[in-house]
Amino acid sequence: MSLFKNFDVAGSAMSAQSLRLNLTASNMANATTVSGSADEAYRARHPVFQSVYDEATKGAAVSVHVAGVVEDQREAMAQYQPGHPLADEQGFVYSPNVNVVEEMVNMMSASRSFQSNVEILTTTRQMLQRTLSMGEQ
């Protein structure tokens, strides 16, 4: 695999982790919202990643593809608050199925993955620069 392929692999991984960070931020921003029914409650969203392989490189992964975004299937949490303006006829409001601790872990993991790919790009660039400077001497 050429060094130039490193840019493609790391770039696609950075794009995927950027989406993961955006979804995590959206989940955390909506963690405290409430609604009047379980069906209307915000559901946490998570990306699904897929490795893309290349037959020319004997099956080596060449990029990361976002296959889609899925909603968490856990139920919304019912809270008894009969005085709340959004409460249903039984007095319940529904909170999102967002687990803030899980989202913080996702955020840290995505951030570290993104930073690792930045390091890959930086190291690859330095290697290419050193290779080019060898011809100058």
Give residue limits of the domains in the chain.
3-132
Q: What is the pLDDT of residues 3-20, one digit of tens each?
A: 778 888 889 999 999 999
pLDDT exceeds 80 at position 38: yes
Closest CA relative to residue 90, chosen from 37, 33, 34: 37
- Work out the mean pLDDT of the chain and round it to a whole number: 89
* pTM, full prediction: 0.83
